[in-house]
Amino acid sequence: MLDFLLTSDAIMALLTLTFLEIILGIDNIVFISIAANKLPEHQRNRATNIGLILAMVQRIILLFFVSFLVGLSKPFFTVDNNWLSIGVSWQAIILFAGGLFLIYKSTSEIREKVENPSHDEDEVKSKPIKSLSNAIVQIVIIDFIFSIDSILTAVGMTNGLHPNHNYTLVLMIIAVMISIGIMIGFANPIRKFINAHPSIQILGLAFLILIGFMLITEAAHLSHTEFFGKSVGAIPKGYLYFAIAFSLFVEFINFKTTKKK
When pLDDT is cut at 50, 70 and 90, the band that residue 218 belongs to is: confident
User: What does the pLDDT read at residue 126?
Assistant: 60
User: What does the pLDDT read at residue 158?
Assistant: 77
pLDDT beyond 70 at 129: no
What is the rounded average pLDDT for all residues in the chain?
A: 78
User: What does the pLDDT read at residue 118?
Assistant: 61
Q: From CA 214, how far away is CA 23, in angstroms rounded?
A: 19
pLDDT beyond 80 at 188: no
Q: From CA 19, how far away is CA 204, in angstroms rounded?
A: 9
pLDDT beyond 60 at 124: no
pLDDT higher at 138 or 187: 138
Q: What is the 3-state secondary structure (H, E, C) of the chain?
A: CHHHHCCHHHHHHHHHHHHHHHHHHHHHHHHHHHHHCCCCHHHHHHHHHHHHHHHHHHHHHHHHHHHHHHCCCCCCEEEECCCEEEEECHHHHHHHHHHHHHHHHHHHHHHHHHHCCCHHHHHHHCCCCCCHHHHHHHHHHHHHHHHHHHHHHHHHHHCCCCCCHHHHHHHHHHHHHHHHHHHHHHHHHHHHHHHHCCHHHHHHHHHHHHHHHHHHHHHHHHCCCEECCEECCCCCHHHHHHHHHHHHHHHHHHHHHHHHC
Per domain, the residue ranges of the chain are 2-260
pLDDT beyond 60 at 147: yes
pLDDT beyond 70 at 38: yes
The residue-averaged pLDDT of 2-8 equals: 79
User: What does the pLDDT read at residue 244?
Assistant: 80
pLDDT higher at 220 or 143: 220
Of the candidates 105, 120, 117, the one whose C-alpha atom is nearest the C-alpha of residue 153 is 105
Give pLDDT tens digits for 50-102. 877 887 888 888 888 877 777 777 888 888 887 888 888 887 888 888 888 88
